[in-house]
Structure formats: C-alpha cells, structure tokens
C-alpha cells in the first residue's frame, strides 16, 4: 500500500500567485510520484470542486480536495507558500499552507471526509498550526501529521 503522505508530495517552498498555480504544482508532484492516472482530469476535478465553495478554512490554511477516477491512491499533498495568496478563505485572510486531499472515486467509505475531519481536528489548535508552518523539512511535516493521517485511514479500512 502506498503511504498517504510522503516527502515526494510535499513542497515547503512553493512560489504561486493564485490557487490554480498551487493546484498545478501539487498535481505535478502527485503525478511524478505515480499517484494519478490522468493528471489533467484530476486537476480539473480539484478546480471544479473549489469553484463550488472555498476550501480556505481560515488561519492561513486551505484544504482543497478531489475525489475522482483519475487518482490511483489516497494521498495528502502539502504546499507551504513563499507568500500568502488570496483564497477567498472563510475568515478573509490569505493562505500560506495547503493540504490537498487526493481520493479515488472508488475509495471505500468516505476517506476524504475522514481525512478532512482528522486534519481539521489538528489544525484548529494554534500550537499545531505553528509547528507545521515553522517546519523546515518534509520529515518534520511527516512526523507532525503523518500519524494522524495514517491512523485515520487504518480505522476506516
């Protein structure tokens, strides 16, 4: 089974001017790591979902997600932005951390909802947000968030 979170799909130094550039960067990482079977369809799915309502949850964080047949395995791609960008977030503040959930359409249960809930439970804590935002290596990010994500999916299997 592919790890949900790996250093190959985390970029802690993303230069982006808007959401679409962030989506494109994370889609590139996911595709290079073999997690997508149709990167164009996946990217369109994420953009279409974002058009429905913002995934900017506040606190400088966005959690966009795609659930489509274009995905090979459940994953979480992460981007730390060099400069905050407008994301139409619920609190009106710009976003500098993006956790993009990647879920196959045929996924058992509601893996994306379980991932979203697990991440949200952690991200509501200011200390946790600060630790993630101050992380300087992908290993640090994985150490901080990996157990939460993996335990969530083990419970749902």
> Which residues have a catalytic role annotated?
65
Q: Contact 57/63 with Cβ under 8 angstroms? A: yes
Phi-psi region of 37 (alpha: psi -120 to 50; beta: other; left: phi over 0): alpha
- The contacts of residue 104 (CB under 8 Å, 6+ apart) are 67, 68, 69, 71, 72, 73, 74
Cα separation of 102 and 100, whole Å? Answer: 6
Q: Contact 127/106 with Cβ under 8 angstroms? A: no
Q: Contact 43/36 with Cβ under 8 angstroms? A: no
């Amino acid at each position: 089974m592919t790890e949900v979170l790996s250093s190959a799909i985390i970029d802690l130094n993303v230069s982006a001017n808007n959401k679409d550039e962030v989506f494109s960067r994370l889609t590139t990482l996911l595709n290079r790591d073999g997690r997508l079977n149709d990167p164009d369809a996946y990217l369109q799915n994420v953009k279409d979902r974002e058009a429905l309502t913002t995934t900017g949850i506040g606190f400088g964080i966005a959690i966009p997600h795609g659930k489509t047949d274009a995905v090979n395995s459940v994953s979480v791609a992460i981007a730390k932005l060099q400069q905050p960008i407008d994301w139409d977030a619920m609190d009106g503040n710009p976003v500098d951390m993006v956790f993009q959930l990647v879920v196959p359409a045929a996924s058992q249960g509601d893996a994306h909802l379980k991932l979203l809930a697990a991440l949200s439970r952690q991200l509501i804590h200011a200390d946790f947000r600060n630790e993630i935002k101050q992380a300087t290596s992908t290993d640090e990010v994985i150490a901080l968030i990996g157990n939460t994500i993996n335990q969530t999916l083990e419970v749902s299997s």
